[in-house]
Amino acid sequence: MEVMQAVADASFERQVAGHLRGSYSQSIVILPDNGGEFTVSDLPQDELDRLVRAGIAKARGYEMTRQSSIAVFVALMFDVAPNFDRHRLCQVLLGDEEKIPDDRTDDLLTVLTEKNWESIRKDYGAQAWLVDEQEVAKTGEKSSEEKAKAAAADSAPPANPDKTLPGKTLSGKTLRGKTLSGKTLSRTMARRSQTIRVQPEAPDTNMDFDQKTMRVDPKK
């Protein structure tokens, strides 16, 4: 399976490189460490392949798995700037937890204007091509582990039924320990105080409830 995955990854890299040669041949690429300035069409093949691998690794660091989404991300690195993702608007869109990672590239293309892209081009950071693929992989694994822990914490029952349950964001994650921004923050903060109190089990004498039923009073 590892060999097959390596073959599939190499094939995908070649497809992305070929797409860049064909559709972005005149895009300017500035190599790190004063390596020079080239159009995509003039880049040596081994250099192009190396940059493509760096772009794919970076896209996967944002938890993208769909080839089309990864290809869009890499194309933006070549056509705009390798550090485009550090722009404040891109950071908001790429970090939108209300959408799956593979859908966030669509927002990049629809929300940002040409004026935004020109501003990003002026802030071109060639050193962003130097991506540590192993470090990016570790970052993705850590993020996945944190999400799994958060999901497990959300599904666990409260230790004390007399305590209120923490508020939820639209994505289902607790507010505790999370940093939010933009409209998600404003909506979430408005809902943070909306908690419900779960009462202890009803006594056996009440025929409207059985032993497993809890009374929920939204007014408390």
Identify whether residues 10 and 94 lie together within a single domain. yes
On whether the pTM is more than 0.85, the answer is no
Looking at the structure, do residues 18 and 106 belong to the same domain, yes or no? yes
pLDDT at 71 over 50: yes
Query: How many domains would you assign to the chain?
Result: 2
Domain enclosing residue 166, as ranges? 157-217
CA gap 57, 181 in Å, rounded = 26
Mean pLDDT of all residues in 128-132: 85
Distance CA 133, CA 50 (A): 11
| Final residue belonging to a domain, choices 140, 172, 204 | 140
Report if residue 147 sits inside a domain.
no
Q: Do 36 and 132 fall into the same domain?
A: yes
CA distance 89 to 94: 9
| Residue 148 forms part of a structural domain | no
**What is the bridge-based pairing of β-strands 37-39 and 28-30?**
antiparallel
Determine, yes or no, domain membership for 146.
no
Residue 35 sits in the same domain as residue 10: yes
The answer to whether residue 79 scores a pLDDT higher than 50 is: yes
pLDDT bin (cut points 50, 70, 90) of residue 2 is confident
- Examine the pLDDT at 146 and tell me if it is beyond 70: no
Across the range 159-172, mean pLDDT stands at 37
Q: Is 175 a member of any domain?
A: yes
Q: Is residue 42 part of a domain?
A: yes
Residue 177 burial (CB < 10 Å; 0-12/13-18/19+)?
exposed
Mean pLDDT on 63-74: 96
Region of poorest pLDDT, from 34-43, 79-88, 138-147: 138-147
Q: What one-character DSSP code corresponds to residue 40?
A: G
Residue 89 lies in a domain: yes
pLDDT band of 205, cuts 50, 70, 90: very low
